[in-house]
Amino acid sequence: MSIVEAIRNVPELYHVKGCTDQQILEAEKDLNLKFSKEYIDYVKEFGAISFYGTEWTGLNIDGYLNVVQSTKQERDLNVSFPKDCYVIENEGIDGIIIASNENGTIYSIHYENVEKICNSLSEYLAECLKRSK
């Protein structure tokens, strides 16, 4: 099942308008990195999402859920934040950030501690859904 199909099946999903290829290219240029294929598919369809207290960054939204703003803020606040990563979710607990690299590997980042937690955004979505029950 694709990430888009999996997200469509999330009950009580809130999302904004999906974004364009041009918006994605501008965001990647602004961050000097590439988004993973799954992240691109997700933001093209949904922009940004929230469900059950889970909030993922994206595009077509301002503030802390904007992937560019959120990633730049983390880079400013945490000199150890990996340059090849972008913010997926700010856990809002003890400064823990969930981030992805361009290969789609998902990490939990707490200051200089970087721990791989999932192999893909789809796998992370499954984890988010588990914790919401």
Domains of the chain: 3-131 (3.40.1580.10)
What pLDDT score was predicted for residue 121? 97
Which residues are paired to 98 by β-bridges? 89, 108
Q: What is the pTM of this model?
A: 0.95
Region label for 12, one of left (φ > 0), alpha (ψ between -120 and 50) or beta (otherwise): left
Cα–Cα dist 79/40, whole Å = 26
What pLDDT score was predicted for residue 107? 98
Residue-wise pLDDT for 64-96, tens only, equals 999 999 999 999 999 999 999 999 999 877 889
Average pLDDT over residues 21-45: 98
* Higher pLDDT among residues 115 and 1, named by residue: 115
In this structure, how many other beta carbons lie within 10 angstroms of the beta carbon of residue 121? 24
Quick check: 57 pLDDT over 70?
yes
At 108, the amino acid letter reads: S
What pLDDT score was predicted for residue 123? 97
Buried-exposed string 50-68: b where 16+ CB fall within 10 A, e elsewhere: bbeebbbbbbbbeeebbbb
Structure letter (DSSP) for residue 63: G
Q: Map residue 70 onto helix, strand or coil.
A: helix
- For CA atoms 131, 121, 52, 57, give the dihedral sign: positive
Per-residue pLDDT band for 53 (boundaries 50, 70, 90) equals: confident
pLDDT above 70: percentage of residues in the chain? 98
Average pLDDT over residues 14-22: 96
Average pLDDT over residues 39-66: 95
